[in-house]
């Protein structure tokens, strides 16, 4: 057996992959009766709903580690869905035609959570729009009906219950969800560079986040 590479800096291995959400999002109830939709809008020529068209994109399966910014990691999570890069190339460009320079991508969940990523980071080949986990349809605990999976980035970028994607030129179209301060949201959030937050030094942030872990876990939504 080959040895597994070490975890990224200052992460520890969690025993289980649990439902996780900061503060108020942990308690939010997800409306499972909503008809699935994936609205694409922002600085684009046409706003479109991608939901029905995803089936045209080839499916992709991957196994990746998942790293939460509060320092826990889960190894070997098996996701399946569609590569964001394929969806961008095969659906978003032809159907919506985003403006040149619309490189700030805002991802919104049906619980009101949202997060932004740079287009260049979403086009990595390990970024998925996932609708399956460990060979089963994605459950509501981990983000049904569809979630983002961006393994090179801290988990808070991997928006669950994804219902809308926006392409923007101007950062002012985005705010990290109330009441959380924008400085805890790093513009990139790359795990390899320990980009946990803007402004706050990691040495200060890590103990605060570790303290919050037991308060952010929700074993099951029901």
Ligand X SMILES: Nc1nc2c(c(=O)[nH]1)N[C@H]1C(S)=C(S)[C@@H](COP(=O)(O)O)O[C@H]1N2
CB contact at 8 A, 83 and 127? yes
Residue that is written with structure tokens 């991608």 in the block: 50
Residue whose CB is less far from ligand X, 43 or 146: 146
Question: Which residues partner with 77 through β-bridges?
Answer: 64
Residues that bind ligand X (CB under 6 A): 17-22, 25, 68, 109, 111, 113, 142-143, 155-156, 158-161
In whole angstroms, the minimum distance from the beta carbon of 156 to ligand X comes to 4
The conformation of residue 211, written as its DSSP 8-state character, comes to: H
What dihedral angle (degrees, nearest 10) is formed by the CA atoms of 100, 162, 94, 42?
Answer: -40
CA-wise closest residue to 173 among 102, 87, 121, 91: 102
Site stretch for Mo ion (CB under 5 A), options 76-84, 128-136, 152-160, 202-210: 152-160
User: Applying CB under 5 A, does 191 fall inside the site for Mo ion?
Assistant: no
Q: Which of 66, 79, 84, 156 binds Mo ion (CB under 5 A)?
A: 156
In whole angstroms, the minimum distance from the beta carbon of 102 to ligand X comes to 22
CB contact at 8 A, 126 and 65? no
User: Applying CB under 5 A, does 68 fall inside the site for Mo ion?
Assistant: yes
In whole angstroms, the minimum distance from the beta carbon of 154 to Mo ion comes to 6
**Would you tell me which residues interact with Mo ion (CB under 5 A)?**
68-69, 155-156
């Amino acid at each position: 057996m080959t040895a597994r590479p070490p975890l990224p800096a200052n992460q520890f291995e969690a025993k289980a992959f649990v439902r996780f959400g900061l503060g108020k999002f942990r308690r939010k109830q997800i409306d499972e009766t909503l008809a699935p939709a994936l609205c694409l809008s922002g600085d684009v020529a046409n706003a479109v709903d991608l939901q029905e068209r995803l089936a045209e994109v080839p499916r992709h399966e991957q196994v990746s580690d998942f790293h939460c910014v509060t320092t826990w990691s889960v190894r070997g999570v098996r996701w399946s869905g569609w590569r964001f890069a394929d969806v961008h190339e095969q659906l978003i460009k032809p159907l919506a035609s985003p403006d040149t320079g619309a490189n700030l991508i805002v991802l919104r969940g049906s619980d009101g959570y949202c997060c932004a990523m740079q287009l260049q980071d979403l086009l990595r080949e390990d970024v998925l729009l996932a609708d399956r986990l460990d060979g089963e349809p994605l459950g509501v605990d981990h983000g049904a009906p569809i979630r983002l999976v961006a393994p090179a980035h801290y988990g808070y970028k991997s928006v669950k219950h994804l219902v809308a994607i926006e392409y923007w030129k101007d950062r002012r179209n985005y705010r990290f969800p109330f009441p959380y301060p924008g400085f805890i949201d790093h513009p990139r959030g790359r795990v390899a560079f320990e980009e946990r937050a803007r402004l706050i030094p990691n040495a200060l942030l890590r103990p605060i986040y570790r303290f919050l872990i037991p308060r952010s876990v929700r074993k099951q939504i029901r």
